[in-house]
Amino acid sequence: MSNSRVVSAVNGADFSGTTAWKDFLALIKIGIVNSNFITAFTGLWLALYFTDTYFLGSLDVMFLALLGSSLVVAGSCSINNYIDRDIDPLMERTKNRPTVTGRVAPTKALGLGISLVIVGEIMLFMTTVTAGLIGLFGVFSYVVLYSMWTKRKYASNTIVGSISGAVPPLIGWAAIDPGLGAIPFALFLIMFVWQPPHFYAIAMRRVEEYRAAGIPMLPVVKGFARTKLSMLLWVIALFPLPFLLPSLGTAFIVLATILNVGWLALALAGYKTKNDHKWATMMFVYSLNYLTIMFTGMVILTFI
């Protein structure tokens, strides 16, 4: 990749202002890396808090765990770009990825992904063996179970993909306490259940793109009515999960319940809306705010 600015007109798009750094961020899907960083940090922070581990004495472990998990996620996403290079040109939101436009050779994207995963895993294993093994499981579930297998064959691909997305809190906790316990698994469940309604909202907004690419997302295979029902059921499934974390106190349960009630109300509104696209966008935005408030709230409440 060149560090100079690249101006081209691939697929009618103007890439003026594109830099090697921007290509790198696109390859690793920096938005996914950032969201996983938040949940990994929350798992790590709660482990420090509930195991009475000295914060300043664990700075090296925190650095290794957070950077290592971020590199593993980034590497997995780069590998995903390599795998999806044949279908990405068919979708509006992915047709400008560097592996599609030719700004980055597919083999380089694959090499980058593997390298990042290896470095990240070394860092995780330097914390605890458990953290390293969980990281490897996350890579396997995202790259093999989701990207290479279910994504193109089954409407349940979203649920399978949710496994890897729920792993970061476990990694963060395991870096401090390899024995794990009820709290990190509760975090895993919250992340796992949160993802289907989040990604179904994206699928509804991009349904024609997924249809053109031949990806059997739920709205493509079953339609909007069935997708709305699934989103509603997954949101309802979130309600009991905060009660698995009584050690975070009543304030957290109240906060989580308020967030759940708000999401439930919005999910129910989908049955009255006349604009499914607008409603799906609202569900998507709410899900992002839900995740941010939920996990930052967990950290903040440890100071109260």
List, for residues 223-274, the tens digit of each pLDDT value.
Answer: 999 999 999 999 999 999 999 999 999 999 999 999 999 999 999 999 999 9
Neighbours of 273 (CB within 10 A): 14
Is residue 180 in some structural domain?
Answer: yes
Residue 270 DSSP SS3: coil
Task: Decide if pLDDT at 11 tops 60.
Answer: no
- Residue 3 falls within a domain, yes or no? no
Q: Is the pLDDT of residue 85 over 80?
A: yes
- Residue ranges making up the domain that contains 78: 19-301
What CATH number is associated with residue 149?
A: 1.10.600
Does 9 fall in a domain?
A: no
Q: By percentage, how much of the chain surpasses pLDDT 70?
A: 94
Q: With H, G, I as helix, E, B as strand and everything else as coil, classify residue 218.
A: helix
Predicted confidence at residue 10, as pLDDT, reads 31
| Overall domain count for the chain | 1
Please tell me the predicted confidence (pLDDT) of residue 46: 97
Nearest CA-CA partner of 1 in 36, 38, 34, 27? 27
Report pTM.
0.90
- Could you give the C-alpha distances from 273 to 47, 147, 224, 282, in angstroms and in order? 43, 33, 12, 11
